[in-house]
Structure 1
Amino acid sequence: MRNCGRLYPAEFFRTVAQDLSLGKQHALIDLGTGPGLLALGFAPYVGRIVGVDPEPVMIAAAREAAARASRSLTLIESEAEDLPPDIGSFDVVTIGRALHWMDRDATLGLFERLVAPDGTILVCSSHSAADGRNPWLGEYNEARRFWSEASLWSESGSGERTHRDLAVFFRGTRFHVADLIKVETGHEISARDLGRRVLTFSSSSPDVLGDKADAMLRDVEQRLLPLSREGSLTEVVVATAQVVKR
């Protein structure tokens, strides 16, 4: 998918890595890795990397992306909660658009065994700014709604996927939200690549869309072309990492 789904800019990974003093001695596991956006984004800053996802098509996409990036990435097809006890612990556990799907009790138990004593959980989010700086966003979200199964659509009015309240999620545990890292960037992206990004969302993944994927891509591109300059649009992206520590 080239970098059409890569809402997380390089500056985000660099900033987070610097703030956490990440190095090759650190191991990272990405839960709900999808096409490997977080795992591969942090790859230059850590040592061992593991990506976990229950969807075979996403594992395949992550494997292809790792090969294109010439990165070593261990991929496990599994629900995060079903990871074997002998997988070990990690200095960094990343999770993006998957947390709101996961059972709280099972996930907290998973964090207890996955996170090293001095480790960190990064709950990451990246979205197109919804404050008017992306005038094409309304049309894009309408297209996503049209092509997504209604039962899987959980988008807030701002265009950012809703995340759990982490303070509530970790209440009564040994974990707490310690920091918020926020990075804003801007770039040019084609209408076609924005269409292909729709395939990286669980509600409109290739498994969900099936033989409708090509029609979706054509529809999204046609909706966005009138708002573009020769097929190109400017996108302002807001990427955040909520840092959770013991």
Structure 2
Amino acid sequence: MGRFATTVALYEELRPPYPPAFFREVAQRLAFGKQHALIDLGTGPGLLALGFAPYVGRIVGVDPEPAMLAAAKNAAAHVSQAFTLIAGKAEDLPDDIGGFDVVTIGRALHWMDREATLARLERLVVPDGVILVCASFSATDGRNPWLDDYNTTRRTWSKESLWSEAGSGARTHRDLAGFFAGTRFHAADVIRVETSHEVSVRDLARRVLTFSSSSPDVLGDKVEAMLRDVEQRLLPLSRDGHLTEVVVTTAQQVKR
């Protein structure tokens, strides 16, 4: 069973969202069209690929976790969207898969083997194509005054060796300049969209379960104790059990 197998049911519902405004802004800025093909590496439940689907002609998703692929298949069926799904790691894609105009990578780059991934990207990205390393995270500049307490509490319940997966958007991915150093790829402009929404204290507590470092499998019989602890820490900061979350969503462009 993969590290995210027990997070699937909660992942799409509870992670900071990729809002419609983000997909629209990126598609407009980069002039996406039906002639373009997109592949999403580490697709999970298909959030990025399905979000961009209305703006491109074809979407493909790759993920090693069967339960995530099943969730992506169900999500695509729900909106009647054709979505080719491939089981496996991005590094292991066959040479004959062809080229893509857009390669998206969400909350996955830090799990990928650098050398193998770079070799695969050289084949995947067409000459004038773009890699988009995307993230969506709670703003860390003080506009979410509950966030420090939340992250501190979450850390106490997380498997410490995996804590680097968590937290702010700055830690969501490896340093891109270093990752692509010595290749023909380079980091270009960042597209940034900010939105806000109301989120319940209960759902923020449940969000803890969507990370591999604090998944139901990791926490075991401590799940309910974790939920109570997080809720008790956040309730005094809430209004009727709800908090405003300012979400920053970014697409870091990487080009040749």
Q: What is the TM-score when the length of structure 2 is the normalising length?
A: 0.85
Matches of 2:156 and 2:74, distance apart in 1: 28
List runs of 5+ in structure 1 lacking aligned partners.
Answer: none
Match among 11, 15, 28 for residue 18 of structure 1: 28
**Change in 2 beyond 3 A, CA 1:198/1:51:** farther
The count of aligned residue pairs is 246
SS at match of 1:124: strand
Q: Specify the code of the residue in structure 1 equivalent to 2:27.
A: A
Match of 1:88 in 2: 98
Measured after TM superposition, the shift of residue 215 of structure 1 is 5.2
Match of 1:154 in 2: 164
Q: Deviations over 1:42-67 (max 9, x none)?
A: 12211211121222232233333333
**Change in 2 beyond 3 A, CA 1:44/1:214:** farther
**Change in 2 beyond 3 A, CA 1:56/1:8:** same
Q: How does 1:1-246 map to 2 (within 5 A)?
A: 1=10, 3-154=13-164, 160-209=170-219, 213=223, 216-246=226-256
Q: Deviations over 1:121-170 (max 9, x none)?
A: 00112210111110111222123323322111105875743422222222
Matches of 2:223 and 2:71, distance apart in 1: 15
Conservation of the 8 A alpha-carbon contact between 1:5 and 1:196 = no
After the TM superposition, which of the residue ranges 132-141 and 218-227 deviates more from structure 2? 218-227
Matches of 1:218 and 1:59, distance apart in 2: 31
Q: Deviations over 1:183-206 (max 9, x none)?
A: 111111222332333343333345
Matches of 1:59 and 1:212, distance apart in 2: 28
**Change in 2 beyond 3 A, CA 1:37/1:146:** farther
**Change in 2 beyond 3 A, CA 1:197/1:13:** farther
Q: Specify the code of the residue in structure 2 equivalent to 1:195.
A: A
Q: Deviations over 1:202-237 (max 9, x none)?
A: 333455445655554454344333322122210111
Q: CA RMSD in A?
A: 2.4
**Change in 2 beyond 3 A, CA 1:196/1:205:** same
Matches of 1:142 and 1:49, distance apart in 2: 38
Q: Specify the code of the residue in structure 2 equivalent to 1:109.
A: A
